[in-house]
Structure 1
């Protein structure tokens, strides 16, 4: 039995026939020629193997966690390494939260449109998803009153993704503060997913509309309001990793930061030779979780640490490579800057393509994806994607894959060689405009 959807069945057929396909959905960094400096990785790996010694810590190696703390310190955020747990993937981080801090049958609020992964992770943990809409006329940002109306007595988590996948919207500081207050009022934990947080465009710090009388922000200075810089009145969690940040999904390293009641003070400077702190011992009590009675911070950390200790999935080699990888994130010419420049160039191409205005419900502010709305189209978006693939040889995703069902939509990636992206997007937009004119 062929489990592939019609779009990928057609893709296989055309590929077998030798048809040249332009893939505008492939978000694999390596397939698009984006890899970290191999010399950097070779040096770090050589040092690891020279001094190789297995010394597992259920939170992750102290050197790796200190490197993460330094990464945030570059943005003025103080973070104690003891608030960090290293995992093998963001999916594993979610699984720790869902299984250790919620009970089967509890609910979580997910953004829609959204990436079709979280439902599966919730299902594995026995949680039930509800969806809050991200509306184009609001810049794909949450409507607080609608979000509040969806809260149920068993709602345990609200998930926020910024920059969002696939909308490209970036949440402003007031968005984050308002939702944290909502969590405080209803006793709900907040999860912040910022895996695309370093992929911002020039106007990303304009995500907070100015209040009357406030000066407009400088649109040339991209910035991201990070939840770690805010006081968090409820247990909150930030998820990030090197899969996107350093174009290293194969190294399988993510991290989970626990923050509540303000940011923890930075770790005091450690003199050379300071021994690694011993991990917390013992299993936490199996205390039933109630919405109006959060576990204390130390018990939250202990539950997560104990579960992480069961698997110890993240390899010691990847953790040894982490300090070098994170050190290049803020360096001009490093892999992160190369990705950002490519994305910015393709975004500029997208925004200046003739006819794009009628197809773009919101200009992406960050991330690697973009939504094209095609209101003039007759029929469903899957049929449209099939027509585009068979007629133009361009692979795009229908919007329904991301939960878009209010209007026909297509999703594309900006992570593409600019020499390939420019003619492909021009051809795609021209085709959609012609189709729209024919359907008037």
Structure 2
């Protein structure tokens, strides 16, 4: 007797996460055949030889005998105090341990906070391009993503007037990703002030994904949103995964700031949802104080001669030398978001390109349309490999794009 298939949630059909999707599965199949892949799809420092700083490792090892029990659903008191103190130094209003939530990475806290916030049909204003988890979490919590454009010709910065034009009676929040994934844009203070003003006029929650806050290049500045928001409710997200190269520890946090009375119901809802999942990973929480108040280990990597800086330089030089690519130089984060232009862009489809690049050149990138943009001529690469490896990657990309350009030229000649 055959059994009917188990039905799954219908809204999953609306969710896209190509960073670990079909192309990544194909890469694993090719690896199983003995082919060596250069994978640029995930910002995973440990996969490229980076290690979490030793003083963070020691902080966990020294307290490992205290990590067996559950802790409070919002996190270890010592960890929450360290996060609150860090945010007080930034000027975050009402930053206290009681308003800090520690989670299994920022990803869990994004989902948890949207679940606490949204009723069916509520809208969330998201950047386009976005990190697709934000769209997925909005959809799976019965919300509706509404995208404001961050155009390449504007340095991937948003237009506050456009954001305001998208506000409707169902809008609940404005999401910011700063520094941005996938583009590397870092938002100027004046721009953030304008977006905060939009949120204030319409009484919207600000949700600021700041996981890359200290990964900056060539003098770029990071401005946290919470101090600008003042009494306006704001959730600021951070963690150990990127700045501290500890993705596998799954340690993230969200800080709820703004007027306590205005934030009270959201605080209680997040506390309830945190309690339902018991608590976050305990061992990694003992590294938070050392991470936020100890030695700065990321700045040297982002400075000239630092590995991330030189990897970024290798990508920028490769694009500058390319006959087919354009790039808005990333000011922060761990990615570049090149565009294909000229003859190679004729009929270009980013997913087809990514698959062909994988099949013929053993390089895995993420199609740009995976980040919820309407155009299909971009792709994302991570800056984590060694600079020489990135130079080799872009040589292979150029070979594929040369073929595209030659095909376009041949078709044009045939028509002529």
Question: Is TM (by shorter chain) over 0.5?
Answer: yes
Q: Residues 351-370 of structure 1 correspond to what in structure 2 (within 5 A)?
A: 351-353=316-318, 354-356=320-322, 359-370=325-336
CA offset at residue 80 of structure 1? 2.9
Structure 1 position 401 matched with structure 2 position 367: no
Q: Residues 323-342 of structure 1 correspond to what in structure 2 (within 5 A)?
A: 323-328=289-294, 330-331=295-296, 334=297, 337-338=300-301, 341-342=306-307
Q: Residues 132-171 of structure 1 correspond to what in structure 2 (within 5 A)?
A: 132-171=148-187
Provide the secondary structure at the position in 1 that maps to 2:241: helix
Alignment partner of 2:44 out of 1, 12, 28: 28
Alignment partner of 2:60 out of 26, 31, 45: 45
Alignment partner of 2:211 out of 195, 211, 220: 195
**Residues 58, 26 of structure 1: alpha-carbon distance in 2 compared, 3 angstrom cutoff:** closer
**Residues 176, 394 of structure 1: alpha-carbon distance in 2 compared, 3 angstrom cutoff:** same
CA offset at residue 425 of structure 1? 2.2
> Structure 2: how far apart are the matches of 1:190 and 1:122?
14
> Structure 1: how far apart are the matches of 2:257 and 2:91?
16
Alignment partner of 1:375 out of 341, 344, 360: 341
Q: Residues 243-258 of structure 1 correspond to what in structure 2 (within 5 A)?
A: 243-258=241-256
Could you tell me which residue of structure 2 aligns to residue 313 of structure 1? 279
- Could you tell me whether the CA contact under 8 Å between 1:360 and 1:373 is conserved in 2? yes
> Structure 2: how far apart are the matches of 1:6 and 1:62?
41
- TM-score computed with the length of structure 1 as normaliser: 0.79
Q: Which deviates further from its counterpart, 40-49 or 175-184?
A: 40-49
Provide the secondary structure at the position in 2 that maps to 1:121: helix
Q: Residues 41-440 of structure 1 correspond to what in structure 2 (within 5 A)?
A: 41=56, 43-50=58-65, 54=69, 56-72=71-87, 79-204=95-220, 223-260=221-258, 296-328=262-294, 330-331=295-296, 334=297, 337-338=300-301, 341-353=306-318, 354-356=320-322, 359-376=325-342, 377=345, 378-429=347-398, 431-432=400-401, 435-436=404-405, 439-440=408-409
> Structure 1: how far apart are the matches of 2:208 and 2:387?
31
Q: Deviations over 1:128-183 (max 9, x none)?
A: 11111111111111112222221111100110001111111111111111111111
The structure that is helix-richer by fraction is 2
CA offset at residue 299 of structure 1? 3.8
**Residues 434, 355 of structure 1: alpha-carbon distance in 2 compared, 3 angstrom cutoff:** farther
> Structure 2: how far apart are the matches of 1:17 and 1:299?
54
What is the aligned length?
385
- Could you tell me whether the CA contact under 8 Å between 2:199 and 2:206 is conserved in 1? yes
Provide the secondary structure at the position in 2 that maps to 1:131: strand
**Residues 315, 15 of structure 1: alpha-carbon distance in 2 compared, 3 angstrom cutoff:** closer
Q: Which deviates further from its counterpart, 44-53 or 311-320?
A: 44-53
Stretches of structure 2 that go unaligned for 5 or more consecutive residues are 6-17, 410-416
> Structure 2: how far apart are the matches of 1:74 and 1:358?
45
Q: Deviations over 1:395-418 (max 9, x none)?
A: 222222222332412211111122
> Structure 2: how far apart are the matches of 1:357 and 1:149?
38
CA offset at residue 335 of structure 1? 5.8
Provide the secondary structure at the position in 2 that maps to 1:170: coil
> Structure 2: how far apart are the matches of 1:358 and 1:56?
53
Provide the secondary structure at the position in 2 that maps to 1:244: coil
CA offset at residue 356 of structure 1? 4.3
Q: Deviations over 1:258-296 (max 9, x none)?
A: 1125xx9xxxxxxxxxxxxxxxxxxxxxxxxxxxxxx62
Q: Deviations over 1:341-360 (max 9, x none)?
A: 32211111122224248622
- TM-score computed with the length of structure 2 as normaliser: 0.83
- Could you tell me whether the CA contact under 8 Å between 1:245 and 1:336 is conserved in 2? no
CA offset at residue 82 of structure 1? 2.9
Pairwise CA RMSD: 2.9
